[in-house]
Structure 1
Amino acid sequence: MNWIFETVFTFLQTDLTLSTGLAIIGLTVLIRLLLLPISFPAIVQGIKQRQQLNKFKPQIDKLKQQYQSDPSLLSQKLMQFYKDNSITFVNKTNLMNMLGQGITGFGMFQFLNSTNLIGKFAWISDIAKSDVLLSVAVALLTGLSMYLMPSAAESVNYLMLIVVSGVCLVSLLNFSSVIGLYWGTSTLVSTIQSFTANLIHSRKILSHG
Structure 2
Amino acid sequence: MDIWNFFTSFIVQSIAFLTHEVGVGEAVAIILFTLIGRLVLMPINLLAMANMYRNKKAISALKPELDKIKVIHKDKPNEIAKSTMALYKKNNIKILDKKSVINIASQGVFGFGMFQALQQIVFNSKFAWIANIAKPDVALALLVGVITYFSMIMMPGSAEQTSTLLFIIPAIICIITLISFPSAIGLYWATSSVTSLLQSLVLNNYFQKQEINKAI
Structure 2 residue identity aligned to 1:133? A
Amino acid at match of 1:146: M
What is the RMSD computed on CA atoms of the aligned residues?
1.3
> 1 CA distance for matches of 2:162 and 2:155?
9
Q: Secondary structure at the match of 2:93?
A: coil
Show the counterpart of 1:199.
205
Q: Counterpart in 2 of 1:142?
A: 148
Distance 1:77 1:118 in 2: 57
Work out whether residues 141 and 179 of structure 2, in 8 Å CA contact, stay in contact via their aligned partners in 1: yes
Match of 2:114 in 1: 108
Secondary structure class of the residue paired with 2:157: helix
Identity of aligned residues (%): 33
Residues 139 and 166, structure 1, Cα contact 8 Å, conserved in 2 = yes
Partners of 2:93 and 2:84 in 1: CA distance: 10
Q: Which residue of 2 aligns with 1:48?
A: 54
The residue correspondences of 1:1-209 to structure 2 (distance < 5 A) are: 1-154=7-160, 156-209=162-215
Deviating more after overlay: 68-77 vs 156-165: 156-165
Q: Distance in 1 between matches of 2:139 and 2:97?
A: 38
Instruction: State the secondary structure of the residue aligned to 2:94.
Output: coil
Q: TM-score, normalised by structure 1?
A: 0.95
CA pair 48-93 structure 1, distance change in 2 beyond 3 A? same
Contact 2:12–2:121 (Cα < 8 Å) also in 1: no
Q: Within 1, Cα distance between the matches of 2:126 and 2:155?
A: 33
| Post-superposition offset of 1:162 | 2.8
Structure 2: runs of 5+ lacking an equivalent: 1-6
Q: Which moved more, 1:157-166 or 1:78-87?
A: 157-166
Task: Give the TM-score normalised by the residue count of structure 2.
Answer: 0.92
Distance in 1 of aligned mates of 2:132 and 2:183? 8
